[in-house]
Structure 1
């Protein structure tokens, strides 16, 4: 399942001007609960939340306010490792290595050239509005925490690039990033002067950062193990859907474990079998509706629905439109 940390969700909601409790409840979070960065939210639910916010208010500055609110301490051990790294180049390398602890829909890479060093964001999938807002917030966050650890509190990029089209006005983006912001680019990323990334961080400490990296490597190994189990479950669910809605007992047996053990493993990961099954059906349906070779009735059958009407109701609950309208909106008939 594609996920993002609930920390990002809460930060986005806090930066909006709408009813925070209602927005959080729509993705299964409580406004009164203690913030737990390890609590995850499905990426599709996160994007849909951002799109609901944008439908009710001007969201141009939302990702910039969110990014500006981020602090290293929000990221736990990763934030501490970012602060303790000797240079900003080392700090961003920590992000690229350990981002998997916060989301599995984004990867980062760096590319050093004579003109500067790129800090690139890689996120696959259609550039729906929710994803575009999330990408802007991610790059704004990278600037915010970079400024936090810079020796003089200043960090100015050479350029910020985004692959999607620009908003109606660019002034807020230019003011926040304090550099040219290039939309409709061939990448999502930031280019820094090499000298800017090679300056010592004001709190750099090699001993502390090494201790933290050891801790983060252990966490990463655990998350990878959890992800591998969930990927196996989703694969078995997908293979079983043409026979109807899969049962946890059947999937557990095919995994060679009891249903109680499977339930406990998933609970420890903060996810339920029902959620994995629902997400798998939804993603398969969206993928097949983008392929004109599949009729609507075939998509319904292959995603485990006994009747077309049941599939129509479920899909409208997921995305707010019927499968037929979803296909028409994407040029598939």
Structure 2
């Protein structure tokens, strides 16, 4: 199918892509990735795309990365501003046993395009890291939580790659992440950071309030913020936030319910957590309340859903 006809079928107008910021509905983007995989007949689409996502394809975020003072500063940049490139994944970090770990968490179930999106994103970040460190980043291992082509992945990442692990991400030597980068430019970095923040502010104002609340909940790794804390993050009163959500036909409780439903499915299908652990992670003090809520969502108990998924 010709490219123009394909995009028209998906309702995509290429002329809009001249703008610095462009968003696309999830269903449209998912179909775009599925079609690309089908047309190319290539299960390694994510690696093929990620290999082409070099630092100069990331706009102001790439420029800020280029001027970063250290790997730690670069990672901090990604944690705050990756959303300017994609809102499908969130970056998390940890330090243990002399290693610095960079992980990528799904902000929503990525369904049948999960492998393509995560492989492309992780490889794109690896490209950024490799360029800013002039090839001295010393990535020790890359991991993915699904099946994949290990030989091909190792050829593009140029380091050991392991599939079917708990998380997507990679490890670096902790001793190297604070080493000054040769291309560091403090003034350029600060100027680029200002533009990143401006674009983030613009992106936030273009979103619905329910989408902003949902994103904040998904990015919270230590329990969901209350209505009051959420409102404080947005510098408005709880009453104002409640009214704005009602104007959009929803509520804080409804958004929280949707996030819990999404994460419950994701956790169950990952097979990494028990039902009791999932209940606790989703903020239920009583596992019976979680079972009751899940049955309301899926018309099945969590254990029944898990058995059906395994079959």
Q: Which bracket does the TM-score occupy, shorter chain normalised?
A: 0.5 to 0.7
Mean CA deviation greater in 107-116 or 84-93? 107-116
Q: After superposition, what is the alpha-carbon deviation per residue over 1:229-264, rounded to whole angstroms, capped at 9, x for unaligned?
A: 464999xxxxxxxxxxxxxxxxx9x749xxxxxxxx
How big is the shift at 1:93? 1.3
**For residue 220 of structure 1, what is the aligned residue in structure 2?**
200
How big is the shift at 1:292? 2.0
**For residue 283 of structure 2, what is the aligned residue in structure 1?**
none
Q: Helix, strand or coil: the match of 1:119?
A: strand
Q: Choose which of 47, 56, 60 in structure 1 pairs with 2:30.
A: 47
- Give ranges in structure 1 of 5+ residues lacking alignment: 1-17, 235-251, 257-282, 294-326
> Could you tell me how far apart the structure 1 residues matched to 2:48 and 2:247 are?
45
Corresponding pairs, count:
235
Q: What does residue range 305-316 of structure 1 map to in structure 2 within 5 Å? A: none
Q: Helix, strand or coil: the match of 2:98?
A: coil
Change in Cα spacing, 1:27 to 1:84, as seen in structure 2 (3 Å) is: farther
- Give ranges in structure 2 of 5+ residues lacking alignment: 215-243, 249-261, 266-293
Q: Choose which of 34, 54, 63 in structure 2 pairs with 1:80.
A: 63
> Could you tell me how far apart the structure 1 residues matched to 2:295 and 2:33 are?
25
How big is the shift at 1:68? 1.8
Asked if 1:141 is matched to 2:124, the reply is yes
TM (normalized to structure 2)? 0.64
**For residue 145 of structure 2, what is the aligned residue in structure 1?**
163
Q: Choose which of 184, 189, 197 in structure 1 pairs with 2:164.
A: 184
Contact conserved, 1:83 with 1:204, CA < 8 A, in 2? yes
How big is the shift at 1:139? 0.2
Q: After superposition, what is the alpha-carbon deviation per residue over 1:122-152, rounded to whole angstroms, capped at 9, x for unaligned?
A: 104445231221000000101111122123x
> Could you tell me how far apart the structure 1 residues matched to 2:24 and 2:6 are?
13
Note the aligned Cα RMSD (angstroms).
3.6
Q: After superposition, what is the alpha-carbon deviation per residue over 1:300-322, rounded to whole angstroms, capped at 9, x for unaligned?
A: xxxxxxxxxxxxxxxxxxxxxxx
Q: Helix, strand or coil: the match of 1:40?
A: coil
Mean CA deviation greater in 218-227 or 40-49? 218-227
Mean CA deviation greater in 224-233 or 194-203? 224-233
TM (normalized to structure 1)? 0.60
> Could you tell me how far apart the structure 1 residues matched to 2:210 and 2:17 are?
26
Change in Cα spacing, 1:184 to 1:289, as seen in structure 2 (3 Å) is: farther
Change in Cα spacing, 1:34 to 1:111, as seen in structure 2 (3 Å) is: same
How big is the shift at 1:228? 4.3
**For residue 202 of structure 1, what is the aligned residue in structure 2?**
182
Contact conserved, 2:150 with 2:162, CA < 8 A, in 1? no
Change in Cα spacing, 1:85 to 1:115, as seen in structure 2 (3 Å) is: same
Q: After superposition, what is the alpha-carbon deviation per residue over 1:191-211, rounded to whole angstroms, capped at 9, x for unaligned?
A: 112244333333211122112
Q: What does residue range 9-88 of structure 1 map to in structure 2 within 5 Å? A: 19-31=2-14, 34-88=17-71
